[in-house]
Amino acid sequence: MKKGVWLAIGAYTIWGVFPIYWRWLETIPTVQLVAHRIVWSFVLLAIVLTVLRQWRAFRLEAAHWRIIRIYFVAGLLLSVNWGVYVWAVNAGNIVESSLGYFINPLVSVLLGVFILHERLRRGQWVAVGLATAGVLYLTVLYGAPPWIALILALSFGLYGLVKKMAPLGALHGLSLETGLLVVPMLLYLIFAEANGQGAFLHSEGVSTLLIVGTGIVTVVPLLMFASAVRLIPLSLVGILQYIAPTLQFLIGVLIFGEAFTRTQFVGFGLVWAAVILFTTENIWTRRQASLKLIEVKVSTQHEETS
């Protein structure tokens, strides 16, 4: 359980600072960036599979149409999420993107409860209610549906659900997801290059290195996330996801100077209060369970010695 929690925290922290990375590549078209993410991610995963001598095991696990269909859906959901997010960040919508990832945990929590039949304690329901109130307040504040936020929330929430039910491990699963999309993405990049629109090796040296680096910054947190969702309840994953949008929000406001009004503060404050409540309740419940376990052990030992 603890390992899963730390893996999730690590993944969300990396995702939280992503706006800075993508802003360094803002001159490159979004579709090309997504294509490069998929291609370079698969290249890195292929190297890992080779080093670990996992290719044979990977082929045996992946050679089933049911598994291919599951991971093809996961790959599509992930590519949609990536594309919308990269475009939003480079279009100056980091704060609204962070709203999407504030909504996303609610989607994960609800999917966990209503589809996977996970249970929440009373305090956790209160936290979810607070977060929902904050998100609804922010949604009404926009005066229109925040499409960027909604697409990001739904695409990644559904991706998390698919990964929760998917049979492969983190490495093999992500390799299959990217592998199923790598050929069409390569064809697109070749087409862009042939038409004089390719960015790779045509930008300054730093940009070229950052393009290649999209594989590393993509694979590492995704492997951590894929491992985490298999180790801890999806409802807990949903709450921990607030780490990423909080960091994104702070970067958008403090580093890139995006607007944040007092009215918006009310909605975000409700969400942050929900995170604090959920975390506090979770820690208290675990301590009570540990104390109860200690009491049972002491009582058992006392009975044995008497």
The pLDDT score that the predictor gives to residue 112 is: 80
Structure token pair of residue 126: 């209160």
Residue 303 has pLDDT above 80, yes or no: no
Domain assignment of residue 263, yes or no: yes
Query: Per residue in 166-189, pLDDT tens?
Result: 888 878 988 999 999 999 999 999
Asked whether the beta carbons of 44 and 194 are under 8 A apart, the reply is: no
Residue at 116: amino acid letter: L
The pLDDT score that the predictor gives to residue 185 is: 92
The pLDDT score that the predictor gives to residue 39 is: 93
pLDDT band at 293 (very low <50, low <70, confident <90, very high): confident
Asked whether the beta carbons of 166 and 85 are under 8 A apart, the reply is: no
Domain assignment of residue 299, yes or no: no
How far apart CA 211 and CA 1 sit, in angstroms, is 35
pLDDT band at 302 (very low <50, low <70, confident <90, very high): low
Domain assignment of residue 283, yes or no: no
- 231 Cβ contact partners less than 8 Å away, ≥ 6 residues apart: 1, 3, 4, 7
Domain assignment of residue 205, yes or no: yes
Domain assignment of residue 290, yes or no: no
Query: Per residue in 2-48, pLDDT tens?
Result: 788 888 889 989 989 989 999 988 888 888 999 999 999 999 999 99
Query: pTM of the full predicted structure?
Result: 0.79
The pLDDT score that the predictor gives to residue 109 is: 76
Asked whether the beta carbons of 21 and 27 are under 8 A apart, the reply is: no
Rounded mean pLDDT, 96-104 = 82
The pLDDT score that the predictor gives to residue 195 is: 84
Between residues 76 and 195, the one the model is more confident about: 76
Asked whether the beta carbons of 270 and 137 are under 8 A apart, the reply is: yes
Complete DSSP assignment for 66-90: HHHHHHHHHHHHHHHHHHHHHHHHH
Domain assignment of residue 118, yes or no: yes
Between residues 263 and 249, the one the model is more confident about: 249
Q: Domain range for residue 264? A: 2-275
Domain assignment of residue 296, yes or no: no
The pLDDT score that the predictor gives to residue 182 is: 93
Residue at 260: amino acid letter: F
Least confident residue range of 68-82, 116-130, 176-190: 116-130
Domain assignment of residue 115, yes or no: yes
Query: Per residue in 199-245, pLDDT tens?
Result: 776 667 788 889 889 889 988 888 888 788 778 876 677 677 778 88
Q: How many domains are contained in the chain? A: 1
